[in-house]
Chain A
C-alpha cells in the first residue's frame, strides 16, 4: 500500500492505495467519480479518457501512483455547476450521443485535443477521436458538434 496525494478537478485527495491500482479504478472506486467509464481496460476504447496536465489519456493505462503530482480532470470537472462547458453544449445541440456510455471519454478527448489544436480540420478531428469507440452514433454527429464548436469559438473567441 502506498500513500499518495491525487489532485482531481482542482481538489486534493489523500489516498492510501494498492500500487497496482489504475487511475481509472481510483477515480471510480475510491473517489466515486463514476462519470469516467471502463469499456475495455486495455486502452482500446477510450471510454476512460481523462486529462492529465491537460492531455487526454486512457486512465486504464495509468497507474494511480504515476498520476501523483499531475492535474487530473474528469468529466465531472468540466461543467461549472449547472453551467455546461461549450463542448457539452455542442454535444447537446448536435445530439452527439445515444446511450451515453462513451460520451464522457469522448468529451474529454475533444477537450484535450481542442486545447492543443484549436483549429483542426475534419480529418484531424476524426483522427483525434479514433481512439474513442462509439457504437451508437456513427460518429457523424460528434464530428459535426466539434466542427460547429470550432467555428463558434473562432467567431466569438469564446472558450469555456
Chain B
C-alpha cells in the first residue's frame, strides 16, 4: 500500500485558502428574498394571538408566516418539533413567526411589527424536577407524536421523551459482593457547537410543486427525507444541494431551517428565500448539546474489581427531542464506559425541559457519560487506595469480555488497554515529582498533576444505515468519485480519494471527488455523522472500485483475448499477469475500447458500490441487550496540567491522546482530527457553558460564551495511533472523528485531583470553580 497511510493534503486546499470555496452564506440568487424570525421572549408561554397585519403591509414584505399557517412537525427520531411554534412556545428563542422580504433590513423591520400576545405558563428547567408527577408538561400531546417505535420509549403524560434501560446480570447480587460502594452525582451543562458558519438555508418552492434547497447541512439526504415526511411530498420532488459547509460538529445533522424557508418560499410567490442565522440565533434558537445529570453507584471489591454499577442518566433535552432521544440511547448502551462489569443497570431518561433543545454534538452522549464514569473510576480507585491506572487495567474490556449489551469483545474489536498503556507511558504516569519541583510548587502556588481517562464510541445510527458510491471514468482515464456524505473539513473526501486510488492502483491526483453535493445527482448516503463516513463510505468506494475493475477486465479480456482471472491492474493499465507487456491503459477502456478498424466495445464505465450496516439489531426494550455497534473505536488520554491555586486557572502542559483506529488512512488528517477534537474537548472542560436566568439564555454572544482561542491551547498535543485492524473496515480502518474530544474533560478533572486532592463533579472547570473547590477544601 503506497497511498493508504501516507499524508495527502486536502483536495480542496486551494479553494479554501483563496476564499473561492462557496458556502451557503455566500450564495445569492436572482429574485432572492431574505427571511428573519421573531422568537419567543418566554421560556414557556401560550400564544394567545399573533397579529401580522402591520408586518404584511410593510413595502417589500412578501410573506409572513406563523405556526398556524404551517402546521408541520419535523424530527429525525421523534417527530415533535414544529417549524414555527404552534399554540405555545417551549423555549426562549423559539421561532414564533417569520418574514420574507426583499432585503434583510425590511424583513427585520417587519418582524418588529408583529404583535404576539403570550400567556406565560409555569416552566420547568431541571431534568430531575421535570420528572416529578406535578411538573409542568412541556409536551401535552407526546402520546400522539410519531417516532421510531421499538427503538425509543416515550412516556406520554410525563416529560420523558424516551427511557432506555440496560440490564446486565443482577446488580443486587453484585452489590452484595462489593466491599465498598461509591456513589456520586455529576453534571454537565448545555454547550454550543459553534460552527464558524452559522446555520443557513435557501429554498425555492417551484410552481410545479418541486422544492429545491441549498443548505449548510451535514446530510443532504436526511434533509430531503425529513422534509418529505414532514410536508408529505415525495422525495423525488425535493432536491437538496449542500455546498461547502463551515463546520457542523453534529449541529447541522438532521434538519433545521430548511422547512421554514421552503414554506416561506411557497408563501412568497415561489421566490427563493434565504435565511442566515445570526450568531445570537445560533446560540439561542438553534440546537445545542444536551445537559446531563448523572447519578452513579459503583460496587467494588477490595482487590479492585467492579462488581456492580447502577446508573441514572437524566438528559436535559430542552424543549424538543427530535434527535435528542438517540443521545439518551447512545449514552445508555455506552453508558458504563469500556469496562467489563458483570452486573449493570442503567436508566437513561431523555427529558423535556424549557431550555433550548438538544441535538447531536461530536461524540454525542459519550463526552457526557464519560465525564461521569471516568471521574467515578478515579474516585473509586482513590477510595480503594489504588492507582487509577492499575484500577482501570483490572476492569477494562479485553478479548472475551461481554459488553453491557451482550456483545462479545474479540481480538479484532480494538484495544482500549493498548490505548491506555500508550497514553500513560507518554505522559509519564507514575513518575514522582522531584524535591525541586515540589519546592517550586510551594513557592509559586502553581501545582502540577496528571490525569488519565479512557473512552469508547461506536457510530450511533439506525440498524439499516446505508451508503453508496459511484466512480465514473473521464475521457483521459481519470475518475470522478461521487458520494453524498459531506466533507465539511474533516477530510473524508481526500481519504476516500486515497481509498479509490489505492484500490484502482492509480495516482490519487487522478481521482476527483465531486464537491457539488446534490441529491438528484449523487448516490444515497444516510448522514455525515457518528464517525461513520470513512468506514461506510470507504467500504462503498472499495466496492465501487472493484465493480469498475471488473468491468475494465471484461473489456480487456476481450481485447487482449485472455481470461479475466489472468488479468491484473496496476500503473493505470490492465495487463496479463504473466505477460505484462500485453495491456490496455485505463484511458483506452474509460469510455469504451475502439479497435483500429473502428469497431467499439464496452462503453463509458461506471463503478457502483454500496454498503449497509451489518448485523445491527434494535435493543431489547426491557434489558437493552442487542448489537448497537458496527465498530468500536477505543481511546485514552493522558494529560499533565498546572493549576494556579491563587486564581484557579488550569494550564494544560501536555495531552497525549491514543486511539485504536484500526488503520491510519491519511496520517496528517488523522492527526489533525485529534488536535482539533482535543481542543474542542478542552473548551467543554474549562470554559464553555450555557447559563440561563429564569429560562432566558444569558450566554448568547461570543462575549458571554467563551470558546478556546489560540492562546488557550495546550502547550503540546500528542496523538498516538494503535492499529488493531477492523476486519470489515476499509483497509482495516475505524472512525475517529468524534473520539478526540471525548473524555478530555474527565482526564483534566482527574488531573485536578492528582494535583490538589480535590474532586470536581461539574464542568466546566472554570478558574472560579476550581478556585472555590480548593478554597472550600480548607
Contact = CB atoms under 8 A, between A and B. Distances in A.
Interface of A: 28-29, 32-42, 44-45, 47, 74-76, 78-79, 84, 88, 91-93, 95, 97-104, 107, 125-127, 129-143
Contacts of A74: 19
A159 B542 CA distance: 44
B9 interface: yes
Contact of B488 (A39, A99, A127): A99
Nearest to A89: B17
Which interface residue of B197, B245, B668 has the most chain A CB atoms within 10 A? B197
B19 A138 contact: no
Contacts of B196: 37, 39, 45, 47, 99, 101-102, 133-135
B246 A138 contact: no
Contact of A140 (B16, B668, B707, B713): B713
A98 B490 contact: yes
A99 B362 CA distance: 15
Nearest to A18: B105
A139 B25 contact: no
Contact of B9 (A40, A42, A92, A127): A92
Contact of A137 (B21, B245, B279, B676): B676
B60 interface: no
A75 B701 contact: no
Contacts of B390: none
B710 A142 contact: yes
B18 A95 contact: no
Nearest to A128: B710
Contacts of A45: 196, 279, 702
A147 to B, nearest CB: 12
A76 B22 CA distance: 13
A99 B246 contact: yes
Interface string B9-44: 110111111111111011010000000000000000
Given A34-B22, A137-B675, A137-B676, 19 more contacts: A28-B26, A34-B19, A34-B26, A37-B196, A38-B25, A39-B196, A39-B197, A42-B701, A75-B18, A84-B18, A93-B9, A95-B10, A95-B13, A101-B197, A126-B710, A127-B711, A133-B196, A135-B193, A136-B489
A44 to B, nearest CB: 4
Interface residues of B, number: 54
Contacts of A136: 247, 489, 676
A32 B15 CA distance: 16
A123 B345 CA distance: 49
Contacts of A138: 672, 675-680, 713, 717
Contact of A95 (B9, B19, B193, B710): B9
A140 B717 contact: yes
A99 B711 contact: no
Contact of A100 (B28, B489, B679): B489
28 contacts: A29-B28, A35-B20, A37-B23, A37-B25, A40-B701, A42-B702, A42-B703, A44-B279, A45-B196, A45-B279, A45-B702, A92-B9, A92-B14, A99-B247, A100-B246, A101-B197, A101-B247, A103-B16, A107-B17, A129-B710, A130-B710, A134-B196, A134-B710, A135-B196, A136-B247, A136-B676, A138-B676, A138-B717
Nearest to B194: A135
Nearest to B490: A98
Given A35-B19, A76-B19, A133-B702, A99 B710 contact: no
B249 interface: yes
B244 interface: yes
Contacts of B675: 137-138, 140-141
B449 interface: no
Interface string B429-470: 000000000000000000000000000000000000000000
Contacts of B244: 99-100
A130 B17 contact: no
A135 B707 contact: yes
Interface in B696-726: 701-703, 707, 709-711, 713, 717
B624 interface: no
Contacts of A141: 672, 675
A95 B494 CA distance: 12
Contacts of A44: 279, 701-703
B15 A135 contact: no
A107 to B, nearest CB: 7
A99 B197 contact: yes
B401 interface: no
A35 B709 contact: no
A37 to B, nearest CB: 7
Interface in B531-553: none
